[in-house]
Amino acid sequence: MTLSTIGVIGSGTMGGAIAHQMALSGYLVRLTDVSQPALSRATERIRAWMDVSVTKGKMTQQDANDTLDRLTVTTDLAELKDCSFAVEAVFENLDVKQRIFAELDSTLPKDAIIATNTSSMSITVLAESTQRPDKVVGMHFFNPPQVMKLVEVVRGYKTADDTVAKTMELARGLGKEPIEVKRDTPGFIVNRILIPQMLEAIRVVEEGIATPEDVDKAIRLGLNSPMGPFELQDYTGVDVGLNVVDHFYEEFRNDRWAAPLLLRDLVRAGRLGKKTGAGWYDYPSEKR
Ligand code: 3HC
């Protein structure tokens, strides 16, 4: 598949890193956000990531410069008008995503594919905001997208076979291993399986069975996972986890997915993990 420039909408942790991975893989990328400071922060994160890679001898400074040359940033979504593929990666708010989908639909060429990196929302519902539901697809990356090999390619009710095939092809072009998620269900595969582990880990702490630090140690050393469930939440964002859980609760209407109060407490206390500098560790034990 020959692709012209790829558009990425949303320059947060995931959007910025997805754009980075695309530029690293040789694609021309246009990254857009409503906030210029957010775009500058994303560019800084990309630069810092490549500084590490250059220092480790994994890439040359020339390659890093060339990667940055392939990436342009803009606050004007209309500048995506020549993109043949776009990946939406804004925060998990349905209204915002639907507005962006409608805008992308009127901006992009008629045959362009609109993908979403949503971690839980319905592809079918998002596709309804466009006149091209057959060209709307889920393209779910994992954090950090530069490292994690998996991409879930999610079929909405009306997604065409050709859209799925082209999205799988792009994922392979990014050096990823795509898998097709055949039905549009909350959380797709990985989050559907990961979230129960996260909820059970929080319940273990609430019941006073072990501290978050020891639960992480248990999972790291007992299951050979690179991170325990609390480290992982701090890494991906405690608020991101809560959003997904709340969404599951609404969709499945089952108490099994009710967010533990402790999780909500942490978010209310602003302990969102890496991005705020405080998360599960050192949360006063009397509050647990
Ligand atoms: N700058 C440059 N390179 C970096 C880097 C950085 N800041 N951080 C990592 N890397 C590169 C390293 O160079 C290394 O590359 P190499 O394999 O070619 O040497 C590779 O990434 C691995 O890094 P390290 O070995 O130095 O680091 P760790 O061993 O500490 O691994 C990790 C870091 C990859 C984040 C690992 O801890 C891990 O796999 N954690 C679990 C992550 C996970 O589960 N993600 C999924 C989250 S769920 C999700 O995203 C779904 C969403 O919907 C919520």
Q: Residue-wise pLDDT tens for the chain (288 aa)?
A: 667 799 999 999 999 999 999 999 999 999 999 999 999 999 999 999 999 999 999 999 999 999 999 999 999 999 999 999 999 999 988 999 999 999 999 999 999 999 999 998 999 999 999 999 999 999 999 999 999 999 999 999 999 999 999 999 999 999 999 999 999 999 999 999 999 999 999 999 999 999 999 999 999 999 999 999 999 999 999 999 999 999 999 999 999 999 999 999 999 999 999 989 999 998 887 777
Residue nearest to atom 36 of ligand 1 (CA): 226
Which residues on neighbouring strands pair with residue 278, listed in sequence order? Answer: 273
Active-site residue flag, 224: no
| CATH number, span 5-181 | 3.40.50.720
Task: Decide if 5-181 and 190-277 have a common fold.
Answer: no
Of the residues 152, 231, 243, 247, only one is catalytic, namely 152
Ligand 1: does its nearest atom lie under 6 Å from the Cβ of 236? yes
Domains of the chain, by residue range, sit at: 5-181, 190-277
When the candidates are 3.30.1540.10, 1.10.1040.10, 2.170.150.70, 1.10.4160.10, the CATH number that belongs to 190-277 is: 1.10.1040.10
